[in-house]
Structure 1
Amino acid sequence: MQFRLEKRPQPSRLMLYAAPILAVILTMLVGGAIFSAIGYDGPGAVREIFITPLVTSYKWQDLGIKAAPLIIIGVGLAVSYRANVWNIGAEGQYVVGGVCATGVALATYGMTGWWILPLMALAGVAGGAAYAAIPALLRTRLGVNEILTSLMLTYASVQLVYYLVRAPWKDPMGMGFPQTRIFSEAARLPTIIPGTIVHLGVPIAILVALIVWFVMARSLFGFQVRVVGAAPHAARYGGFSENRTIWLALLVSGGLAGLAGMLEVAGPFQRLVPGFPTNYGFTAIIAAFLGRLDPLGVIFASIVLAITFVGGEMAQTTIGLPAAAAGIFQAMMLFFLLAGDLLIRYRLKRVTHQPTEARA
Structure 2
Amino acid sequence: MSNPFAAFFPVKLELRAVPSRNMAYFSPVLALALTLFFGALLFLALGKNPLSGLQVFLLEPLKTRSSISELLLKTTPLVLCALGLSICYRANVWNIGAEGQLIAGGIAAGSTVLMFDNSAHLLPGGMVLLLASLAGIAGGALWAGITALLRDRFNANEILVSLMLTYIAQLLLMYMVNGPLKDPHGMNFPQSRVFSSEFLLPVLFAGSRLHIGFAVMLVATAVMTVFVYRSFAGYRLTVGGLAPLAARYAGFSSRRALWTSLLISGGFAGIAGAFEVTGPIGQVLPSISPGYGFAAIIVAFVGRLNPIGSIFGGLILSLFYLGGEMAQSRLGLPSAITGLFQGMLLFLLLACDTLINYRLRWLKPAANAHTA
1:297 correspondence with 2:309: yes
Deviation per CA, 1:235-270, whole angstroms, max 9, x where unpaired? 001110111101111111011000100011100111
Residue 187 of structure 1: which of 157, 180, 199 is its match? 199
> Are the aligned partners of 1:96 and 1:127 in contact in 2 as well (CA < 8 Å)?
yes
Asked if the contact 2:20/2:356 (under 8 Å) is kept, the reply is: no
Question: Partners in 1 of 2:34 and 2:367 — Cα distance?
Answer: 43
Q: 2: CA distance between counterparts of 1:231 and 1:214?
A: 21
Aligned-partner Cα distance in 1 for 2:172–2:106: 11
The residue type paired with residue 306 of structure 2 is: D
Are the counterparts in 1 of residues 100 and 166 from structure 2 also a CA contact under 8 Å? Answer: yes
1:171 aligns with 2:179: no
Superposition pairs of residues 67-216 of structure 1, within 5 angstroms: 67-110=75-118, 111=121, 112-113=123-124, 114-216=126-228
Does residue 15 (structure 1) correspond to residue 27 (structure 2)? The answer is: no
Q: Which moved more, 1:270-279 or 1:346-355?
A: 346-355
Letter in 2 for 1:249: S
Residue equivalent to 2:3: none
- CA deviation map 1:156-215 (0-9, x unaligned): 111111111112211111122110001123321011111211111111111111111111
Aligned AA for 2:103? V
Give the CA deviation at 1:118.
1.1
Q: Deviations over 1:278-318 (max 9, x none)?
A: 20000000000000000000011101111111111112111
Give the match for residue 284 of structure 1.
Answer: 296
Query: What is the rounded CA distance, in whole Å, between the counterparts of 2:197 and 2:285 in structure 1?
Result: 18
SS at match of 1:115: helix
Deviation of 1:45 after TM superposition, in Å, equals 2.3
CA contact (8 A) 1:90 1:254 kept: yes
Q: 2:325 touches 2:335 (CA, 8 Å); kept in 1?
A: yes
Residue 52 of structure 2 corresponds to residue 44 of structure 1: yes
CA contact under 8 A between 1:89 and 1:154: conserved in structure 2? yes
Q: Deviations along 1:128-181, whole A, 9 cap, x unmatched?
A: 011001111111221111000000010111111111111221111112211000
CA distance in 2 between counterparts of 1:346 and 1:287 reads: 23
Aligned residues of 1:41 and 1:319 also touching (Cα < 8 A): no
Give the distance between the partners of 2:51 and 2:173, measured in 1 at CA: 39
Task: Give the aligned residue type for 1:99.
Answer: I
Aligned mate of 2:355, from 343, 346, 354: 343
- Please name the residue that 2:284 is paired with: 272
Partner SS state of residue 307, structure 1: helix
Aligned to 1:59: 67
Contact kept, 8 Å, 1:188 with 1:270, in 2: the verdict is: yes
Kindly state the Cα deviation for residue 356 of structure 1 after the two structures are TM-superposed.
10
Q: Aligned letter for 2:341?
A: F
Displacement of 1:350 in angstroms is 3.3
Number of corresponding residues: 357
Please give the alpha-carbon distance, in whole angstroms, between the structure 2 residues aligned to 1:242 and 1:289.
23
Q: Distance in 1 between matches of 2:191 and 2:215?
A: 28
The answer as to whether partners of 1:40 and 1:321 remain within 8 angstroms in 2 is no
The CA RMSD measured in Å over matched residues stands at: 1.6
Q: Which runs of 5+ in 1 are unaligned?
A: none
* TM-score relative to the length of structure 1: 0.95
Q: CA deviation at 1:354?
A: 6.4
SS at match of 1:71: helix
SS of equivalent residue, structure 2 residue 14:
strand
CA distance in 2, matches of 1:353, 1:25: 36
Does 61-70 or 273-282 show the bigger shift? 273-282
Using the size of structure 2 for normalisation, the TM-score is 0.92
Q: Deviations along 1:54-103, whole A, 9 cap, x unmatched?
A: 23333011011100000100111011101111000000000000000011
Which contiguous aligned blocks of 4+ residues in structure 1 show a shift greater than 4 angstroms?
353-357
Q: Distance in 1 between matches of 2:238 and 2:254?
A: 11
| Cα deviation, residue 38, structure 1 | 3.1
Does the Cα contact within 8 Å between 1:64 and 1:198 map onto a contact in 2? yes
- Which letter does structure 1 place at the counterpart of 2:58? F
Tell me which of 317, 328, 350 is aligned to 2:340. 328
Q: Take 1:207 and 1:245, find their aligned partners in 2: how far apart are those partners?
A: 24
**What amino acid is the match of 1:254?**
G
Aligned-pair CA distance for 1:232: 0.0
Identity of aligned residues (%): 45
Distance 1:192-1:38 versus aligned 2 partners, 3 A rule: closer
Do the aligned partners of residues 317 and 337 (structure 1) sit closer, same or farther apart at CA in structure 2, a change above 3 Å counting? Answer: same
Contact 1:44 1:319 in 2 (8 A): no
Which residue type is aligned with residue 116 of structure 1? V
- Give the residue type in structure 2 aligned to 1:316: Q
